[in-house]
A and B are shown apart, each in its own frame.
Chain A
């Protein structure tokens, strides 16, 4: 007789749990943990958005929407993309609303990958790209971004990784966990290199609203010849503090969107309708809320970075998302050792850079989606810990 585990498909069996999950399991068993480990905003969803959701619930608007999402929402997304990244997408057949940006990533990969196709996955990066590629029977090809380039993706990083089997490139900027952004010049060099290549770019822009230092997010889709070989993915979780609403979207050429809708209609049907109604309000009337949160993040970012520099850790000036990625090599500890000891000895949770790819070794991800007060307390403890560890080494 087969045991339960024998039913598990081979490709799932070999898939490791996320490195973050292991950490979560330990940290969540402990009492009184101070965390800088969270990948979601600490703000509440702006009230106007929540109120719109409640209103639509009261009205009983709780039925399915069309597979691609409410037309009203797709129209707003289209306007948003026009004004933010200067790209034109037809609401009718070039935009699809999904369950978080996560589903869009999965759909895009499943829609384009044939078994054995290679997908370039820059690392350190969000934990789901590689598993999603594998689940779609593709082969993830890791591309390491480098600290000396401020973790931007350069042509040099990818040029030797391209083979005849390369089907797609994931472009995860602003980046979780490094906080790296791609500026206009970076995007143009990359676009120039990709111009004559048959490689689809899957551009995960979920942190696009969160850039600092006067830098604005630039999408590779805004380069005219890249538009039709790019799938832009974004969502409401980070900019509008709507993580639990599970709402994201993809935009791109209609042939690819149509393929994605096919998978989406059979697997998901449609994204939650209440969230979709609320999201219309977000896009229509909440630019100012987003800007307020962004400015607050920026202050915390500077506050936290100064804290790390003051304790003698290298910490490059990350200008996106809400993470800093300080280097802890000077402590002599590996990322995992650092994070485990910090958790067990000081009850502070940060995430090892290696949870986001092997090249995250020597770094830790610290989120500043916390109040300045909370950040201050955590920094004080980390400083104490770093000093002790350095003393131990003598």
Chain B
């Protein structure tokens, strides 16, 4: 069963819209088996969601994405967990990673503009107890995200129609 789960994850990671029937056919399993494996992975929080990778640059929606390096003092007994939680509970925050290296937490967030992000940092993020300092970077362009080259053109199949 472990094997089928890994295969399901590999398929879904690339395309979360694959139907149960197709996945079953690809894995040589029954639809019920695939459905059961997905249910159990959803329950176990292995599958945390089915999202769509959007190239917002091609839409009218205007916003900026910031990556904020945050240095904190870990709390006794709780380590970084509690601080991370205080940060990720803000809706504006899209991702929080604990990092090894020059800083502790990497916070990713979207805002309508730079001043919205700066206001979030000065009013909400920095005042949190144990946050020592922040350094903010703005994303100019995404070339590749989640393993997908954003602006890749669909190239025609250059192979000949029939070859030996």
- Contacts from A to B (Cβ < 8 Å): 18, 20, 23-24, 27-28, 33, 35, 37-40, 42, 126-128, 176, 295, 299-300, 302-303, 306-307, 349, 351, 355, 372, 376
Contact partners of B25 in chain A: CB under 8 A: 302-303, 306-307
CB of B28 within 8 Å of the partner chain: yes
Known contacts A295-B10, A299-B7, A299-B11; A38/B160 CB under 8 A: yes
Q: How far is the CA of A126 from the CA of B163 in the complex (A)?
A: 11
CB of B27 within 8 Å of the partner chain: yes
* Residue of B with least CB distance to A22: B162
- Nearest CB in chain B: distance from A223 CB, A: 29
Contact partners of A40 in chain B: CB under 8 A: 159, 163
Residue A303 contacts which of B22, B159, B163 (CB distance < 8 angstroms)? B22
Known contacts A295-B10, A299-B7; A37/B27 CB under 8 A: no
CB of B36 within 8 Å of the partner chain: no
- Contacts from B to A (Cβ < 8 Å): 7, 10-11, 22, 25-28, 157, 159-164
Q: Are A23 and B164 in contact, CB atoms less than 8 angstroms apart?
A: no
6 A-B pairs whose Cβ atoms sit less than 8 Å apart in the complex? A20-B163, A38-B162, A40-B163, A176-B164, A299-B27, A302-B27
Contact partners of A307 in chain B: CB under 8 A: 25
Q: How far is the CA of A176 from the CA of B27 in the complex (A)?
A: 23
Q: Are A24 and B163 in contact, CB atoms less than 8 angstroms apart?
A: yes
Q: How far is the CA of A300 from the CA of B10 in the complex (A)?
A: 14
Q: How far is the CA of A355 from the CA of B163 in the complex (A)?
A: 11
Contact partners of B28 in chain A: CB under 8 A: 302, 306
Q: Are B161 and A349 in contact, CB atoms less than 8 angstroms apart?
A: yes
Contact partners of B27 in chain A: CB under 8 A: 299, 302
- Nearest CB in chain B: distance from A190 CB, A: 25
* Residue of B with least CB distance to A370: B157
Known contacts A42-B157, A295-B10; A35/B26 CB under 8 A: no
* Residue of B with least CB distance to A44: B155
- Top 7 closest pairs, chain A to chain B, by CB: A37-B162, A299-B26, A24-B162, A306-B25, A302-B28, A27-B161, A303-B25
Q: How far is the CA of A20 from the CA of B159 in the complex (A)?
A: 15
Q: How far is the CA of A42 from the CA of B163 in the complex (A)?
A: 13
Q: Are A35 and B162 in contact, CB atoms less than 8 angstroms apart?
A: yes
Contact partners of B162 in chain A: CB under 8 A: 20, 23-24, 27-28, 35, 37-38, 349, 351
New A-B contacts (12) at CB < 8 Å, excluding given A38-B162, A302-B26? A20-B163, A24-B163, A27-B161, A28-B160, A28-B162, A37-B161, A40-B163, A128-B164, A303-B26, A306-B25, A349-B162, A351-B162
Q: How far is the CA of A33 from the CA of B159 in the complex (A)?
A: 13
Residue B163 contacts which of A33, A39, A300 (CB distance < 8 angstroms)? A39
Q: Are A42 and B160 in contact, CB atoms less than 8 angstroms apart?
A: no
Q: How far is the CA of A37 from the CA of B26 in the complex (A)?
A: 20
Q: How far is the CA of A363 from the CA of B153 in the complex (A)?
A: 37
Q: Are A39 and B161 in contact, CB atoms less than 8 angstroms apart?
A: no
Q: How far is the CA of A35 from the CA of B22 in the complex (A)?
A: 20
Contact partners of A351 in chain B: CB under 8 A: 162
Residue B164 contacts which of A126, A299, A302 (CB distance < 8 angstroms)? A126
Q: Are B161 and A38 in contact, CB atoms less than 8 angstroms apart?
A: yes
Q: Are A24 and B160 in contact, CB atoms less than 8 angstroms apart?
A: yes
Contact partners of A35 in chain B: CB under 8 A: 161-162
Most A Cβ at <10 Å: residue of B11, B25, B161, B162: B162
Q: How far is the CA of A242 from the CA of B157 in the complex (A)?
A: 15
* Residue of A with least CB distance to B159: A38
Contact partners of A349 in chain B: CB under 8 A: 161-162
Q: How far is the CA of A23 from the CA of B160 in the complex (A)?
A: 11
Q: How far is the CA of A351 from the CA of B49 in the complex (A)?
A: 42
Q: How far is the CA of A307 from the CA of B28 in the complex (A)?
A: 12
Q: How far is the CA of A371 from the CA of B7 in the complex (A)?
A: 16
Q: Are A372 and B22 in contact, CB atoms less than 8 angstroms apart?
A: yes
- Nearest CB in chain B: distance from A254 CB, A: 31
